Amino acid sequence: MSLTAPADVSLLADDVETDLRASVRKVLDRHAPTDRVNALYDGTDDVSAPLWSAFVELGLPGLLVPESLGGAGASAVEAAAVLEELGRAAAPSPYLTSSVVATTLLAALGDTTILPSLASGEHTAALLVRPTARHHGPAALTTVGLPADVLLLPEGDALYAVRGATSTRLSSLDMTRPLGEVDLSGAERTLVSDDAAAAIDRALLTGAGLLAAEQVGVARWALETTIGYLKERRQFGRVVGGFQALKHRLADLYAEVEQADAAARYAAATLATDDADAPIAVAVAAAFCGEVAVHAVEEAVQLHGGLGMTWEHPAHLHLKRAKADALLLGSSEAHRAALAVLVDLPAPGA
């Protein structure tokens, strides 16, 4: 395991990443305010379609698609920047499931049929994964990333593109990332590849690595929002943020968030350069960033006092996103177990 970043990728944001973040944040501020995102829990969605249309105008769905197929030919570093901003806003978007996981899978297989429509944002896709046997798709299963125009179904080592499947929306903790039960009975299947196992592994690795960036966005929102609130809130004639105990808690949280940011950036850098350290870097980032995000938002809820428990404040949206993300592509425990294997640590009790 190396201890340095890939030589050709900087862990510091360049002008392109800075401008990209600013553009994405502007779109999210406009299309995903707290009241509209809150409305998702009442069955009203005035966010998803306008937000996705704005993402399409920016060319974001095609960031990871080769230029020859209508995409930007960008790297995991740029995609991570988009996901971090999505985490900050706790906004609904199929970006992770379609523009990262599904796109990475299809690109690894050399697909030229589905990718152009994903790059343009005309269609979205989602990978169907069985919880217990990743490469054997059932007739009906539960998945995230719905609705999607194309479902990518693994069966054995093969991968099929499924169209015309029916889905039923399920209630879930985080309603900004729809969960549904998919019924594949009678759906049209087209073989994409009869040897997709390695590509599926790559797609899930990329998804887990870039999900860490989203978790950093959630954590950084919690930290910055809490600091801003404690600078203004007064109690016993003093600014609450001036109490020494709270300063220590915020200092510890700041250190956690910065460490998580470094881990997520390194994971994105290794994915961008196809570095041999990528599986290790992703396991570290996924194991650490999920826990930091949950802790950061729990601190935000507590330190906002009664305000943090209200429906109008966005803390509950970020807490739900952090909790759901912590399980989406593997728990911290699962990633630590994978890391132990990767670095040849002995099994417990050995």
State how beta strands 150-155 and 125-127 pair. parallel
The domain covering 198-342 belongs, at the CATH homologous superfamily level, to: Butyryl-CoA Dehydrogenase, subunit A, domain 3 (1.20.140.10)
- At 317 the pLDDT is 94
Measure the CA–CA gap between 219 and 308, rounded to whole angstroms: 15
Percent of the chain at pLDDT exceeding 90: 68
pLDDT tens column, 156-190:
999 999 999 888 888 888 989 888 888 888 899 99
Burial class of residue 13 (count of CB atoms within 10 Å of its CB; 0-12, 13-18, 19+): middle
Measure the CA–CA gap between 218 and 48, rounded to whole angstroms: 19
If one counts every other C-beta atom within 10 angstroms of the C-beta of residue 53, the result is 12
User: pLDDT-based confidence at 236, cuts 50/70/90?
Assistant: low
pTM of the model: 0.90
Using only the alpha carbons of the chain, give its radius of gyration: 20
Angle between helices 278-303 and 197-232 (to 10 degrees): 30
pLDDT tens column, 66-121:
999 999 999 999 999 999 999 999 999 999 999 999 999 999 999 999 999 999 99
Measure the CA–CA gap between 40 and 90, rounded to whole angstroms: 12
- At 230 the pLDDT is 84
Q: Output the CA torsion sign for 65, 66, 70, 76.
A: positive
Helices assigned H by DSSP within 90-196: 103-108, 115-120
Kindly list the domain boundaries of the chain, sorted by start residue.
198-342
> What region does 349 belong to: left with phi over 0, alpha with psi -120 to 50, or beta?
left
pLDDT tens column, 258-315:
999 999 999 999 999 999 999 999 999 999 999 999 999 999 998 888 777 777 889 9
Task: Strand 179-183: give its sheet, edge to edge.
Answer: 140-144, 179-183, 166-170
- Pairwise pLDDT comparison (230 vs 272), residue with the higher score: 272
